[in-house]
Structure 1
Amino acid sequence: MGCSVVGSAGTAAGLEAVVKAGAQAVNHRRWDREKGYLEACKAAAPEGFDVILEMAAHANLAVDLQLVGQNGRICIVGSKSQDININPRTLMPKQVDVRGVFLGSATPEELQDIHASLFDAMQRKALVPVVGLELPLQEAAKAHVEVMAPSSGGAAGNVVLLPPAECNL
């Protein structure tokens, strides 16, 4: 679609998955040890990113505000439930739009459109989901833990709940 895409990961497997998906990979774990992460992101998008999909706003929103471009958008699709400190003034000069995205707020019609688009993209192989862990439905509680604190040390794909054997899906 003509987009330049940068993905971040914190493990070798995650970085490999980002590259395999066709994006430029940046190691976000380097942020704690050196400025390499921030510099790599700025090098990838010198004018700032048009859109940032943020999976961990509790940890990254302040950094995202440094990386987003003029009239850019930060879409928060994941965050732990905790307060963070940001300076609202950083939003103003760039006229940044920060938006929370929550699938649970979608209307039934929107969900139908979303599902149809996703299944179409998967059928065309334009979207190939990466499965990192499969768990039986009975272990749904463990799935929530794995999403927030992966036992592998980093998320390397989706956590999928498998239906019971007696379910005809």
Structure 2
Amino acid sequence: MKKFFILFFSIVFILSCQKEEGSKKFAQDPEPIIQDALKNKKILILIFESESCQYCEKLHREVLNQPDFKEKKIKNGIEIAIIDVNGERMVTDPETGAKMEESALAFAYKVTGYPTIIVFDPKQNYKVLYYQPGFIPKQDFMDFLDFLGSGCYQKTKFEQFIENGKKC
């Protein structure tokens, strides 16, 4: 009987430690999003995440998955793709146009903390515009989308944009 309980609890423990089969975190392939942004000259935001990142989960739960955030993203013509820093899917580097695995893209941009948010500017051939490591609260992120979508990023700093009542 003792062997049965040990075997039973061992199996339960092993199953609970395995990666969740239906995980949706990296379910959406980032490459079509990247290609759409490049084709349509949209501002592109890549968010680099790892599977176990708690702040990434918080970013999705409190910001990215909120309906008003999604509306703001669409209104401002911004594409957001989630990159798995350990991923093997092939993606396009917005700056160089080279195809590489997600993990190689994370290495190329020296991503070491998660999430890391990188904004690419279509007006400058998708050069990096902003590099932000860490979580961004919802209202700040939404204000940042307005800043990017308005084009004010070309004329002023974000802080000035906010001080001016979201005007350039």
Normalised by the length of structure 2, the TM-score is 0.25
Please tell me whether Structure 1 or Structure 2 has the larger radius of gyration of its CA atoms: 2
Greater RCO (CA < 8 Å, at least 6 residues apart): 2
More helix by share: 2
